[in-house]
Structure 1
Amino acid sequence: MAQAQCPASCGEIIQGWILGSEKLVSCPVNWYSHVEITTGAPRGDERPLMRAMVNQLLAYWQLPPRLTQTIRIDCYSTIPVAKGMASSTADIAATAVATARYLEQALNINELATLCVGLEPTDSTFFRGLTLFDHQTASTQITCKGLPQLDVLLLESPLTLTTAAYHRLPRQQWLKEHAPVLESAWRKVQQACADGNAALLGEAATMSAVVSQKVLAKPEFSALLGLVERYGLYGLTVAHSGSVVGLLLDCAKHDVDGVRGQLNAQKLQAHWPKSYLLNMVAGGVEER
């Protein structure tokens, strides 16, 4: 038996045209997909991408394809699906690491990145540290040093959007036009990590969220920005290819109950009926 877990993401801290192509920096939070690999027949209700990862790994290691029929995948995850929370990335990355351990094979981070994007555009949550990642080719992997400490009030919408559907949206021209804004936001992310500056990270995230409004708009966005200003929050992050929003803050410093009260008073809960107070984490797949 082998086990691994990978965190979800509250959207992306930044996503856009950076260093010559569309890239992202995920916002990992302490909400995990747990995967267990054991000997047994495949489950009838397993998630297809997880089996696809096992089959891809067998081909990569040049192992007999028939082995897949002896590998059972059990997934324990409550991460909302198709809302921009990197649920698929958490599933397939944890599956890959657990399978490697189960079959006693080596798997480094570069191989993991390549294998994940081989299945679908992938978030950067499996890196240990906030990472600028080319989520379609894995050709760029720049991990920041350090991690600002902050909390995330994640707002969950009932709306869903698959990664594939987002990538069909006509967005490239808009992203290229706003490349200077995202390049600046990326520099702020690097500086924020180096200095442990949560406010600067929030500023970068808000810059990217504003640009994202022209591609995939979030309802009542101005009202959310008003909450950030009113309560002196660090900023907000959005799922650039999904529906969740995260308010970046410090539970010890900011009035979380007041923010929640205003979400209700301004009827914003009509758009985000569920909320979760989480911690931003470094990311990375952990064997268990």
Structure 2
Amino acid sequence: MIPTARRAAPGAEALPAGTGYAPCHHGEILQGVFLDAEGRRCAGLVTLPLAGPGSHAEFVRRPGTAPGTLTAVPPDRTKAARAAALAVAHCAREAGLPASGGELTLTGDIPVGLGMGSSTSDVIATVRAVADSYRLTLGPEVIARLAVRAESACDPLMLDGRPVLFAQREGRVLEVLGPALPRLVVVGCALGGGAPVDTLAQPLGEASDADVRDFERLRALLRRAVATGDAGLLGQVATASARRGQRTLRHPEFDALTGLARRTGAVGVQIAHSGAVAGVLFDPAVPGWRHRVRGCLRALDAHGIPATHTFTTTTSEILHGPAHRGGRRPTGSDTCRRPARLPAL
């Protein structure tokens, strides 16, 4: 059992400022409707980790002020502001201190609207910063619960990076699939010219019994891929999930992307199910993969699909293109703060 919180040394409560960080991801490998341990249907997803971009938060408590007097910079981060208020209430109870107002400052370099978990990253960084200001460390279950309350659904960015099937609307792990994903080389790209996607406007749809059976089959295949380190099998699952997502997202480049993946010897493609970020997946155990990656980059360029960067799933190594550029994200709406900065995310 992971402890809910830990207290720092006596007297640390006099320091009201705290900081927090959370990473992003590169869209989903699998997303759908699955059965939990009790046989109940749950929306769930498995994300593709990405080292580099992230959200940084600083929270300065103002003891003696009303709990509702919270300010956020930039002021548009409404989900993060809700998370700060929820975290203040929780942490004040844990620390045995009165709840108070404070000032939240967010900085980061995650492109918004591409399906990389930018809002969840903001929310988790905020919760961690608030907890740090109270000299507490919250467990991932508590962070997930607060994140779902703040934004209705969240990605599993509060966890340790192991591949999990995560119920994003409930903030809980349905299954730990294994210790690590198979090693892949991912050629990242942005569909639709990198235009942001309003994730809240995406229709949910109702899964049929046949849909659930299909999702459970893909879940079993992904479990096997992780257990055996089978990059090819993971690629099949990711492509099948991306194809199902295409029914809703209708990316005009989808056929071109899957076609060039086949021609260049990729094991599959993955596409964010609530955005435009995508990846062409290669098995680095196959001889000549570097040549295949170069061919993929040329093919993406020929089809007018902007390449972003190439990275591996098992290390933070970026093989082509910078992972991110520093700086504060500009202001704007929660879903459209800025378009993707291309060719590098």
Indicate the TM-score class for this superposition, using the shorter chain for normalisation: 0.7 to 0.9
Structure 2: runs of 5+ lacking an equivalent: 1-16, 36-40, 63-70, 317-345
1:38 CA drift (Å): 4.8
| Equivalent position of 1:195 in the other structure | 228
Distance of aligned partners of 1:3 and 1:279 in 2 relative to their CA distance in 1, 3 Å threshold:
farther
1:200-219 correspondence to structure 2 within 5 Å: 200-219=233-252
Matching residue within 64, 70, 73 for 2:105: 73
1:120-135 correspondence to structure 2 within 5 Å: 120=151, 121-128=153-160, 129-135=162-168
Higher relative contact order (CA 8 A, sep 6+): 1
Deviations 1:86-114 (A, max 9, x none): 11111111222232223112411111111
Query: Separation in 1 of the partners of 2:125 and 2:314?
Result: 16
Deviations 1:11-66 (A, max 9, x none): 1110011112221111111133241425378454242222221111112233544x
| Equivalent position of 1:220 in the other structure | 253
SS at match of 2:111: coil
In the alignment of these two chains, the number of paired residues is: 273
Q: Is the 8 A contact 1:124 1:133 kept in 2?
A: yes
% same residue: 28
Matching residue within 264, 273, 277 for 2:301: 264
Q: Structure 1: which 4+ aligned runs deviate by more than 6 Å?
A: none
Q: Does 188-197 or 84-93 show the bigger shift?
A: 188-197
1:80 CA drift (Å): 0.9
| Equivalent position of 2:74 in the other structure | 45
Q: Is the 8 A contact 1:32 1:90 kept in 2?
A: no
1:1-288 correspondence to structure 2 within 5 Å: 2-19=18-35, 20-39=41-60, 42-46=71-75, 47-61=77-91, 62=93, 64-65=98-99, 67-69=100-102, 71-75=103-107, 77-120=108-151, 121-128=153-160, 129-147=162-180, 148-157=182-191, 158-166=194-202, 169-173=203-207, 176-250=209-283, 253-254=289-290, 255-265=292-302, 267=303, 269=304, 272-280=305-313
SS at match of 1:172: coil
Q: Does 77-86 or 150-159 show the bigger shift?
A: 150-159
TM-score (norm 1): 0.85
CA RMSD of the aligned region, Å?
Answer: 2.5
Distance of aligned partners of 1:81 and 1:92 in 2 relative to their CA distance in 1, 3 Å threshold:
same
Q: Is the 8 A contact 2:114 2:195 kept in 1?
A: yes
One-letter identity of the residue aligned with 2:138: L
One-letter identity of the residue aligned with 1:80: P
Higher Rg of the two aligned structures:
2
1:2 CA drift (Å): 4.1
Distance of aligned partners of 1:24 and 1:170 in 2 relative to their CA distance in 1, 3 Å threshold:
closer
Query: Separation in 2 of the partners of 1:29 and 1:127?
Result: 13
Q: Is the 8 A contact 2:61 2:133 kept in 1?
A: no
Distance of aligned partners of 1:18 and 1:118 in 2 relative to their CA distance in 1, 3 Å threshold:
same
1:9 CA drift (Å): 1.6
TM-score (norm 2): 0.72
Deviations 1:190-210 (A, max 9, x none): 222222222222111111111
1:237 CA drift (Å): 0.8
Query: Separation in 2 of the partners of 1:161 and 1:245?
Result: 13
SS at match of 1:242: coil
One-letter identity of the residue aligned with 2:268: G
Q: Is the 8 A contact 2:18 2:60 kept in 1?
A: no
One-letter identity of the residue aligned with 1:85: M
One-letter identity of the residue aligned with 1:153: V
One-letter identity of the residue aligned with 2:185: D
